[in-house]
Structure 1
């Protein structure tokens, strides 16, 4: 178990005053056997109305409507969590399904339907060709295949940090040979759906005590979850070749990256020049107490 403190600061600045529509905030993990939220503080400016709900996927969502006019919007989420990872090496797979086709029980398949259907086009077949190049033998166990694909993306694509913009189309990531964490996660999700796997996009944070070769620390992070018989939803981070790692701190899951944006909303008026700054800090909670 690791006890961590997470501080996520977001600041929008506008050249001219604007007013705000309701914003959707995905900043708080849902309590589970893997994560316990011990403390949570949300600080916003300008002030406004907040309402907490669970969405259709069970994500904890804050609906925040800032009041009045302002040339800035500040949102700071501070969390103290306890993370209880399940080491993948300790998990037993009683039914080692072969990589393709993977078989889901009828009851599971009915629930998993939204995560089985690809959400993007592959008009030129680039994604499918790439996928065929990395398919293993007909009897390769599913978990071995997923770990190998996770490692392949990490080893063969160039990481290029990009703070702004939507996730690239997976076919474009294949052509480019490069991307950021959300691009690699989305590539893995959409590739696996084409093989009949139920896969979903995950957004959250990355704890990197040593930094070094860890990619994506200091910002929000994204990875992939795959539903496997006997194991359930299983985490794979192709950006760092991690699987079911305690360094991954999930906040929200979604069918597509657009549905997992940490902060989304609209403004009214002509803002002129705009600027966005985001800072994320994840560290052991005890280290801050000792410093104090």
Structure 2
């Protein structure tokens, strides 16, 4: 598996100097059997106090409080990682509980409950009707259904990049037929929850070597994870119809998109007009020098 180099630059600028409340940074993946962090560097300006912690979902969180006042805030995360996904095609699933309707064991269900319960309202029923029209028949393997739904979102909806703002309500995405990666991920998460699946929102990065048709590169990316008996948490990217792909580099998981924001915080004072610039580059890492 080749190593990847990730540079994530975030710059806030203000007309007038402001002071800063604590900021929550979700920019570093947690080491696991699926991803290995080889090197990590976090550069901030203005400097300030930093404290690292794991949140309730095991995400690696940096609490950063910039010191003093400034008319800008710069946060640059640089990573070198190795990625080890579990390709869908290699999964041999014999567990009958992985067929529709999905069935979780009591022990799993106790842990998964927050990810099975929908978060959003669907008063007009747009989302429920949409997902019912695409639901598979009884005994269709869940993997087959999920791959089909993943492809369906990529094919049916128009991708429109949007750097700022929260994820759209899934019912609204169904109505307008368009959105960005976080809208499509949130649509898949909330649709699956209405069918009894445990699903969660994932934020991270997308590696797209020479693929001009890949949607969502050059910025932070979002996709969906679904828990399956006998398999565990499995990744689906409805923006690009990817599943358990080495090109998906997860950083954090959450119950909602708001909980997965890469950088969140507040300022004190009237900074006037503000501007946000974000840039993400994911490239092959330079090989390490040979040992002497």
User: Common fold, TM-score beyond 0.5?
Assistant: yes
| SS of equivalent to 1:2 | coil
Q: What is the CA deviation profile of residues 246-288 of structure 1, one whole-angstrom value per residue up to 9, with x for unaligned ones?
A: 0000000000000000000000000100000000000000279
Partner of 2:150: 150
In 2, distance between residues paired with 1:144 and 1:138? 12
Q: Would you say 1:138 and 2:138 are equivalent positions?
A: yes
Partner of 1:202: 202
| SS of equivalent to 1:129 | helix
Q: What is the CA deviation profile of residues 62-92 of structure 1, one whole-angstrom value per residue up to 9, with x for unaligned ones?
A: 0000000000000000000011121110011
4+ runs deviating over 6 angstroms:
none
List aligned pairs for 1:1-292, cutoff 5 A. Answer: 1-97=1-97, 99-286=99-286
In 1, distance between residues paired with 2:217 and 2:284? 14
CA apart distance, 1:134: 0.9
In 1, distance between residues paired with 2:136 and 2:101? 12
In 1, distance between residues paired with 2:139 and 2:87? 25
- Alignment check: 8 A CA contact 1:17 1:71 kept: yes
Q: Please, which runs of 5 or more residues in structure 2 have no aligned partner?
A: none
In 2, distance between residues paired with 1:288 and 1:168? 43
In 1, distance between residues paired with 2:186 and 2:259? 12
| SS of equivalent to 2:110 | helix
Q: Please, which runs of 5 or more residues in structure 1 have no aligned partner?
A: none
In 2, distance between residues paired with 1:93 and 1:271? 56
- Alignment check: 8 A CA contact 2:202 2:225 kept: yes
In 2, distance between residues paired with 1:287 and 1:162? 35
Q: What is the CA deviation profile of residues 68-124 of structure 1, one whole-angstrom value per residue up to 9, with x for unaligned ones?
A: 000000000000001112111001112143653211111110010110100000000
| SS of equivalent to 2:97 | coil
- Alignment check: 8 A CA contact 2:100 2:136 kept: no
TM-score, structure 1 as length reference: 0.97
| SS of equivalent to 1:97 | helix
| SS of equivalent to 2:111 | helix
CA apart distance, 1:179: 0.2
In 2, distance between residues paired with 1:96 and 1:244? 21
Task: Give the total of aligned pairs.
Answer: 289
CA RMSD of aligned residues (A): 1.2
